[in-house]
Amino acid sequence: MNTGTSSPALLLLAIMILPYQATAAGAGGLHPLVLVPGAGGNQLEARLTAGYQPSSLICSFYPVLKQKGGWFRLWFDPTVLLSTFTRCFSERMMLHYDKESDDFRNTPGVETRVCNFGSTESLLCLDPSLNQVWKNRGITAYMAPLVNTLEEMGYVDGETLFGAPYDFRYGLAAEGHPCRVGSKYLSDLKALIEKASTDNDRKPVIILSHSLGGLFVLQLLTRSSPSWARQFVKHFIALSAPWAGAVDEMLTFASGNTLGVPLVDPLLVRGEQRSAESNLWLLPNPKLFGRRPLVVTPNANYSAFEIEEFLDGIGYPEGVYPYRTRIKPLVEEIDTVEPPPVPITCVIGTGVDTAEVLVFENGFGDDRRPDVVYGDGDGTVNLESLLALETLWSNQSVKVIRVSGISHTSVLTDETSIREIVGEISSVNSYALSEK
């Protein structure tokens, strides 16, 4: 996959953008654009306090070099590739559900923070030092190719272009349950959208999300008043959004997931991945996946209606209660919630082998990875989940752009998908200009 700016496809894209740049500039500028990343799509920092209980002597001293105040990069840190440090990383990323407060929290003694909220800086790549070496390629690159193209279009970071990074380990819960981190993020995102609009002649904002970010944006829109959405949001563009979860998430819970990072033992990160509130949110939604078996074992099969039994069966009974009380009521609202009064465009990849059924021939006990039966999707999210809003809201303004052969993450870097994304943004801005 070529993401170089000198390629013929991107040169053609730049030529296509030029006429629009002149039109937009002459007519008072672009609609402000807010980028919301997916899980793992922005940098996280951490520091250790006196309450931290390391699992090994190495974790007591690692990392040796820290920033002012003891802060260091937690995600993404390339030393996670080494198994000794993977264990330190895993225990620091771990979340814990506290039944008494009915909420999730960090590991005791670990403080975390999200940097550069409002800017795209922490969305460009996950490790700036590696990004310099690999020049926006490899495991560290994220939104840099897309942001570069948007800047060529005329967007300026901090003026008309904004980033909304967040602690992607946390999620949201059904009404009536506290959700300190996730709720604060929605509040911060709402304030950023309002400020972006106010600072740009009160133009409503285009929101562009990737993956899990789409679920947060949709929750913000459905939890806000219709008048607020009409005033502040011009259009919502969702890339690779797992509206109804994914079977691949069941693989993560059962066997761990390296997320494409080489050399990492998935079993070393499985515990912290199971602990993430957002991962519970991404398990397959029974309203869309129905009762067909998604996981097959010698003793039992599990559909989306048997997630609680599945969690118990894989040896993670701690996840059953928060899933049952906080997550299941939230995801089951999908077919009853009122669509927001905002046009929605979904850009999705199709035609990529995507886990459809997981077959554990020997059950879960030996930690062997399953045989996988594949279906259609983007390699991570199943097609029925990607198309859920179109299926459920046939009378709402939901447009779907399918890009064949594009994976869940390459939608942000592939020239064809970037052309579709920029074309949609240009169309929204051009239509807004024609209304004046």
Residues noted as catalytic: 211, 378, 408
- Tokens 């654009």, located at residue: 33
- Tell me how far apart the alpha carbons of residues 170 and 153 are, in angstroms, rounded to a whole number: 33
* 3-class SS of residue 319: helix
- Tell me how far apart the alpha carbons of residues 335 and 356 are, in angstroms, rounded to a whole number: 22
- Tell me how far apart the alpha carbons of residues 5 and 252 are, in angstroms, rounded to a whole number: 35
Backbone angles phi, psi at 98, to 5 degrees: -105, 110
Torsion over CA: 302, 303, 309, 310 (sign) = positive
- Tell me how far apart the alpha carbons of residues 433 and 436 are, in angstroms, rounded to a whole number: 6
At 396, list the tokens.
């709402």
Q: What is the largest CA-CA distance in the chain?
A: 67
User: Is omega for the bond preceding 76 within 30 degrees of 0, making it cis?
Assistant: yes
The answer for residues whose C-beta is within 8 angstroms of residue 33's C-beta and 6 or more apart is 150, 155, 160, 161, 162, 205, 206, 207, 208, 425
Q: How wide is the angle at C-alpha 349 spanned by C-alphas 386 and 216, nearest 5°?
A: 45
Torsion over CA: 106, 112, 118, 121 (sign) = negative
